[in-house]
A and B are shown apart, each in its own frame.
Chain A
Amino acid sequence: MSRFIPNAPPDDRPQQIQDELEYGKLTNKKYLYVSKHAAGEPLPEPIEDEPPYYIYIATYVNYLILIIIGHIRDAFGKVFKPQDYQDLIEQNGYAPWYDGFENFYVRRLKLRIDDCFARPIHGAPGRYIKLFERRALGKGEYEFTGQSMECLNLSSYNYLGFAQSSGVCTDSALDVIDKYGTSACSPRSYVGTTDLHLETEQVIADFVGKEAAIIVSQGYGTNASLFSSLADSKCLVISDELNHASIRFGVRLSGAVVKVFKHNDMDALEFLLRQQISQGQPKTHRPWKKIIIAVEGLYSMEGNMCNLPKLIELKEKYKCYLFVDEAHSIGALGPNGRGICDYFQVSPSKIDLLMGTFTKSFGATGGYIAGSKPIIEKLRLTYITNNYSESVPPPVLAQIISSLRIIEGKLNPGEGKERLERIAFNSRYLRLGLKRLGFIVYGADDSPVIPVLLFFPAKMPVVSRVLYSMKIAVVIVGYPATPLTTSRVRLCVSSALTKEDLDYVLEKFSYVGDLAFLKYSSGIAGGSKVPGQPPRWSIKDVLEVNVEDCKKPQLP
């Protein structure tokens, strides 16, 4: 037992077995699917199932109890254990680092389920993820046994399964260290530009179907620095309410005026556009210099997609610019993995700026901005990261180039196609299974992000811990990352998982669902066996027909 994280235990199993644990072999050709949206068809409205109202009331009561107990503990704690509250009180003339109110949620709610977060791992987060065993000592302290446990990985953003420690991409990254070193050593505009950087930019631009692209060493930083080069206080940015923190931060940095519309509500967007264009800037009523609509391709907490066809229609009608963050959709959606445009069969030229990250589908890190050549050239001069921030390190570039080439079929022909079709199949397979078992899941049929709703904050740790004990690693998210009442488990599907892995997951979920009373669905979002009745299939019935049913154009 040690307070320090142990070194990764050596693994002397044969290479082939280790590879299998990172990326499972396809067990049957039937387990493939091509994801795409039929061109011209309207986007099916995602139906969000609502649990019975008493679930909401109980959820609020759940919070109330947690908050009251938290306050009671605080009240007593401050008297009897003042040393625990040192960080919250003024000391020796210095204000505390943070005030108790700001910190209450963390201290009294999050800390109680701290063991479900930040579980340290080692090795590639592929099909299985290796978690260090640890025992909570309270107050966020842990003791480690030195052992680690392999869990099925439904938590990492490893959509196409490129988180691997062997194979073409790894070889390429290793090779690049010999030829380029480990670091880019300076910002792009100083001496941080090598031939490999320029090549990567061309490869990603071609992949997403734009003329040019700029790469950045971090996805968050890509957004955080971008908007300052696009907008100032006389411009308007219209942002989906569920946009990622990096977009919101970037827009705030730019000083532009921000208006938020209800998530994916195109009528609300149009209303806002009409109002804003006619009203102009506040007070002066001068026309806006420009209006930028910022949305995401695939929302990482909801699993639904933006309504791209409608957005393009609105953007053209109202002469606005459209920015789409494809962090989760690039690679993971579309018959060729080229993201949201590919999925909707829309020409990428209709979108002004396509942003995405390499962190997810490509097993690398960083982000890109792709656009027309004049736009990207100008950004090379005015984009903050280009002059003030580190450039992308070479091994990451190697991973990006090689994974993109595999997806395009230029490297290892056939491998990319299989990865794409596996994630499409796996996503639908797991989603349909969960629906039929009776869970409320959000999002689009083809989305590899599958949020399973728990509602009660207290059920988050239950689900996380029970699944952990069954060797399944999942991510739980609650307030403030989601609305107060909709705490959830977020599953990220990967090509690396086999159909048998998913069967195991479904079986265990079914067990946990019964155990923690999670099967709330009413059937309005589909999945029912008998129309009109809530779906409550047995696991056996689900598995019997799931392969065929999940390949139907619309999930039944």
Chain B
Amino acid sequence: MKLIMCAGPPTSGKTTVLRQVARRLLKKGRRLAYLKIDVQFADEDELFRNEFAIPARKIYSGDLCPDHASVLVLGDAVKWAEEEGADLIVETAGLCLRCAPYIVGSLGIVVLEATSGMNLPRKIGAMLTLADIAVVTKIDLVSQAEREVFRANIMDATRIEVLEADALRGIGIDRLVRRIERAEDVTMPLMLKGSPPVATCTICVGKKVIGWEHHFGVLRKLDTDLFYRGE
């Protein structure tokens, strides 16, 4: 089975892209299952169930980073999709800018909107650098020049395949579908691509006092020289 992991900032167009993709893949006779991992609200499962009559679920990560939640639940989800005889499409919340949900052997898609700031590609770390393809949506809302400069900013952040789309009208989606059709099947055991930089600290266990002097474990002062490239 194929595993498609789709991440991207809120409202970047992940669902819109995946609906266009699902419509085309189902028409070609592929079977699909859909899982949304979000923090505290999502309705995409209903949307995919109603529109395509495919098995669809959601899970809320609550107090966990959604990409950490994904590591925990994805094993079960893959079994579930396998029982359904379907490829699995996972849409994640993409809120944690340190972690990335991509799995070795899965097809990692990051969805970015052309309307976001020019520096976005430099801000989102592993969500972009560990993906296999970047899909740039909302190209109908910007000029060609801006679209090309946005592409340059992605390429400056990482060497990655970039596809541009007007996801509302389904323009540019066929190329993504061809890329998905070429993706390999995942093999067990599933392994996360990057190591998420998270540490258990006194804040994690509930200490709320502000100021590094009150904490121990992983500490950071204002003048720390921080550098983090997202993998």
**Physical interaction between A and B:** no
Taking beta carbons and an 8 Å cutoff, which residues of B are in contact with A? none
